[in-house]
Chain A
Amino acid sequence: MIDRYENIVIQTICRILIPFVQLYGLYVIMHGHYSPGGGFQGGVILGTSFILLMLAYGLEASLRRLSLKALTVFGSLGVLLYSGIGLVSLLMGGNYLDYGKLPLPIASIAEIRAMGILGIEIGVGISVMAIMTTIFLAIASYDTAGEKNG
């Protein structure tokens, strides 16, 4: 169990820093077309912001804001979004993951492909963020279970 870190400097800095970390994570996901980055990297940055929250404020306070169940749902949702985009392009008469066939109101096929890439990057980002946080949460809360039983 990770207890609340009773230090006003750490807690204040984390409170100020976490929104910026999350904003940067979103930027890395959305800007993957033009700069180094993308779903995996941005998802990990988003995940670290939640891990920072848990380290500074303790597990109990953090679990009031994010539940393990919601994280599991988000982890599955990202994979579902990715494979769903593939399935939609399959249903529209293309190959699986052939983004050019997505039903978007954009004239040029190249831009539809760019939107498809953005869609799957968002899916990857959601999934990676949730799974990173879930793994940390599972490992961090494992200790308490042992203490209570033993």
Chain B
Amino acid sequence: MRVLALLIVLFTGGLLVYGIEDMPRWADPQSPPSVHVSPRYIEKTVEETKTPNMVTSVLADYRGFDTLGEVTVIFTAGVACLLLLRKETE
């Protein structure tokens, strides 16, 4: 069973390393995020959201789902802490 688990881990790791080959090179100006997504945000942020701080508009508006997930992670961490650490006699 442990050998099987190790094999699965190694196989998944190998797949991930294999996938690195297809990623754009670090700071490549021709990579898809630099060509399509970033210029779109830089040009349209103030026009579309009236928010000069681009970090905020990307975090809260364009990537709203991601931030909702982050808040849920923090909420889950708090609930887990309470469940594990609080006295049961209360």
Q: Assess the B71–A34 pair: CB atoms within 8 A.
A: no
Q: Assess the A82–B68 pair: CB atoms within 8 A.
A: yes
Q: Assess the A130–B71 pair: CB atoms within 8 A.
A: no
**Would you give the shortest CB distance from B45 to chain A, in whole angstroms?**
10
Instruction: Knowing A78-B71, A110-B48, A124-B71, say if A131 contacts B56 (CB, 8 Å).
Output: no
**Would you give the shortest CB distance from A40 to chain B, in whole angstroms?**
8
Q: Assess the B49–A113 pair: CB atoms within 8 A.
A: yes
Q: SS class of chain B's interface: helix, strand, loop or mixed? A: helix
Instruction: Knowing A78-B71, A86-B64, A120-B67, say if A113 contacts B50 (CB, 8 Å).
Output: yes
CB of A59 closer than 8 Å to a CB of B: no
Name which residue of chain A comes closest to B59, CB basis.
A38
Q: Within A119-150, which residues are at the interface with B (CB < 8 Å)? A: 120-121, 123-124, 127-128, 130-131, 134-135, 138-139, 141-142, 145
Known: A72-B82, A113-B48, A142-B86. 17 other contacts (CB 8 A): A34-B52, A34-B53, A38-B59, A40-B70, A82-B71, A86-B64, A97-B64, A97-B65, A110-B47, A113-B61, A120-B64, A123-B71, A124-B67, A127-B75, A131-B75, A131-B77, A141-B86
Residues of A within 8 A of B (CB): 32-36, 38-40, 68, 72, 75-76, 78-79, 82-83, 86, 96-97, 99, 108, 110-111, 113-114, 116-117, 120-121, 123-124, 127-128, 130-131, 134-135, 138-139, 141-142, 145
Residues of B within 8 A of A (CB): 47-53, 55-57, 59-61, 64-65, 67-68, 70-72, 74-75, 77-79, 81-82, 84-87
